[in-house]
C-alpha cells in the first residue's frame, strides 16, 4: 500500500490547506489601486497550460490542501478556465473540500452555469462602487450594469456571492454603508479590504489608505456588530451585522497583521509559488514539474515550506515612496 504524501507544514508549524492559483495576469479592467493604466502582460510562452495547473493542483490536494481559489488578473478572460474548473472540481469530495473563484464579474453572466456545473458553490466578486460613473472612474473602463448582470446570473445559477470592496479614502468610503445594505437586500456577504502596497500605480496609495478599524467603529455606532468565529480559509475576520442580517468581513493587512494563522500560498500563472503575498520568496513549480514530474514537484514543495516567512511586512510608506512589493496583485493572484 502506498503511504499518503506528507502534509504541507511550514517551518513555523503552520499547515498549508489553501492555495490561490492565478490562471492569468491579464485583466479587462484597470482598477486604479491595483494596476497602472498601461500594463505589460506575460507572453503565452511564459504561462502554464491548463493541464499543468490541474496537475499541480492534484499534487497540492494529495498533500492536504482542502481549498483552491482560481484568481487572476481576471480569470474568466482566459479561454478554457471553465474546463480547468471541471478538472480540479473532479477532486471535490476526494481530498478537496471547496473550489472557488475571484472575479470582477464582467464575464460572469457567460460562465456562471459552467462554474456551477464544475462544483463551485460560492465565488467572490470585486465591486468597489454601485454608482456607474464612480465605478468607471475606479476601474477606468468598467461597465457596472454588466457586472451586476453577472452577479444576478451567478445567483440564479445557485452560487453564493461574496462582494469584495476595497475601501478607498476620499473615493468610496461614503458607499460602504450603502454597499452593506445592498448586500443585505440581495443576499450577499460583504468583505472590506484595505488597499495593499503591491506594484507601482499612477496614484499614491497614501492618499487612499483607509484603516478598517475606524470603519468598523463608525458602523458600530449604527448597528450591532457581533464577532463570528467562522473562517473560510482566507485572512478575513468575520462579523454579523444584526439589524441587517448580513455577514461582514474585514481584511486588514496594514492595520492588523493576520500572519500568525496563515494557511495559504499563491501560485502564479507562470508557475512561481509565492509563499507570502507581501514577500518575494518563491519557488518555481512549473520548472520542477517539467523537469522532474511529481517527484521533482514534491521536492520543490519541501523547499518552499522551508522558506515561507513568518509574516509579511506591508506598510504604507511616505508619499511618493516605492510600493512595499514591486509586483502587481494581478501577477500574484488576488
Instruction: Identify the burial level of 147 via C-beta atoms within 10 angstroms of its C-beta, where 0-12 means exposed, 13-18 middle and 19 or more buried.
Output: buried
- Distances from the Cα of 50 to the Cαs of 75, 79, 169, 324, in angstroms? 12, 10, 38, 31
Phi, psi of 186 (to 5 degrees): -110, 5
Residue given cell 462554474 in the structure block = 115
- For residue 265, the 8-state DSSP code is E
Sheet architecture: strand order including 160-167: 225-227, 237-241, 246-251, 189-194, 160-167, 122-126, 98-103, 67-71, 18-22, 264-267, 272-274, 282-284
DSSP code per residue over 113-165: HHHHHTT--EEEEE---SSHHHHHHHHSS--HHHHHHHHHHHHHTT-EEEEEE
Is 276 flagged in the annotation as binding?
A: yes
The answer to whether 27 is annotated as binding is yes
Here the cell at position 112 is 456562471
Is residue 22 helix, strand or coil? Answer: strand
Q: How many residues appear in the chain?
A: 334
45 is in an annotated binding site: no
Nearest to 107 by CA among 86, 121, 125: 125
Tell me whether residue 183 is annotated as binding. Answer: no
Q: Are strands 98-103 and 122-126 parallel, antiparallel or unpaired?
A: parallel
List of residues 6+ apart from 11 with CB closer than 8 A:
305, 306, 307, 308
The answer to whether 183 touches 151, Cβ cutoff 8 Å, is no
**91 among the known binding-site residues?**
no
Binding residue per annotation — 31? Answer: yes
136 is in an annotated binding site: no
User: Does 196 carry a binding-site annotation?
Assistant: yes
| 134 assigned binding-site residue | no
Question: DSSP label at 88?
Answer: H
Ligand-binding site membership of 266 (annotated): yes
Alpha carbons within 13 A on the beta-carbon side of 98:
16
Which residues does the annotation place in the binding site for [4Fe-4S] cluster?
A: 27, 31, 34, 259, 262, 276
Which residues does the annotation place in the binding site for GTP?
A: 20, 69, 102, 162, 264-266
Which residues does the annotation place in the binding site?
A: 20, 27, 31, 33-34, 69, 73, 102, 126, 162, 196, 259, 262, 264-266, 276
Amino acid at each position: 500500500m502506498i503511504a499518503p504524501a506528507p502534509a504541507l507544514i511550514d517551518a513555523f508549524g503552520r499547515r498549508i490547506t489553501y492555495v490561490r492559483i492565478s490562471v492569468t495576469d491579464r485583466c479587462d479592467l484597470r482598477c486604479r489601486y491595483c494596476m497602472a493604466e498601461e500594463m505589460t502582460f506575460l507572453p503565452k510562452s511564459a504561462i502554464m497550460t491548463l493541464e499543468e495547473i490541474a496537475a499541480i493542483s492534484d499534487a497540492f490536494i494529495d498533500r492536504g490542501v482542502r481549498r483552491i481559489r482560481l484568481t487572476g488578473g481576471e480569470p474568466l478572460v482566459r479561454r478554457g478556465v471553465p474546463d480547468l474548473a471541471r478538472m480540479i472540481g473532479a477532486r471535490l469530495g476526494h481530498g478537496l473540500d471547496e473550489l472557488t473563484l475571484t472575479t470582477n464579474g464582467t464575464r460572469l453572466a457567460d460562465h456562471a452555469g459552467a462554474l456551477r456545473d464544475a462544483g463551485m458553490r460560492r465565488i467572490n466578486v470585486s465591486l468597489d462602487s454601485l454608482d456607474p460613473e464612480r465605478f468607471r472612474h475606479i476601474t477606468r473602463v468598467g461597465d457596472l450594469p454588466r457586472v451586476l448582470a453577472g452577479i444576478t446570473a451567478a445567483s440564479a445559477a445557485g452560487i453564493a456571492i461574496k462582494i469584495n470592496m476595497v475601501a478607498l479614502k476620499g473615493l468610496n468610503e461614503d458607499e460602504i454603508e450603502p454597499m452593506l445594505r445592498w448586500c443585505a437586500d440581495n443576499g450577499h456577504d460583504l468583505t472590506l479590504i484595505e488597499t495593499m502596497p503591491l506594484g507601482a500605480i499612477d496614484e499614491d496609495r497614501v492618499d487612499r489608505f483607509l484603516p478598517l478599524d475606524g470603519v468598523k467603529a463608525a458602523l458600530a455606532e449604527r448597528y450591532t456588530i457581533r464577532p463570528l468565529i467562522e473562517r473560510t480559509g482566507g485572512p478575513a475576520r468575520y462579523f454579523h451585522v444584526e439589524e441587517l442580517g448580513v455577514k461582514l468581513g474585514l481584511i486588514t493587512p496594514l492595520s492588523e497583521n493576520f500572519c500568525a494563522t496563515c494557511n495559504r500560498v499563491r501560485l502564479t500563472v507562470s508557475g512561481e509559488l509565492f509563499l507570502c503575498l507581501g514577500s518575494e520568496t518563491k519557488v518555481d513549480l512549473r520548472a520542477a514539474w517539467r523537469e522532474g514530474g511529481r517527484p521533482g514537484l514534491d521536492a520543490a514543495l519541501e523547499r518552499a515550506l522551508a522558506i515561507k516567512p513568518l509574516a509579511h511586512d506591508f506598510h504604507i510608506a511616505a508619499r511618493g515612496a516605492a510600493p512595499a512589493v514591486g509586483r502587481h496583485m494581478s501577477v500574484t493572484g488576488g
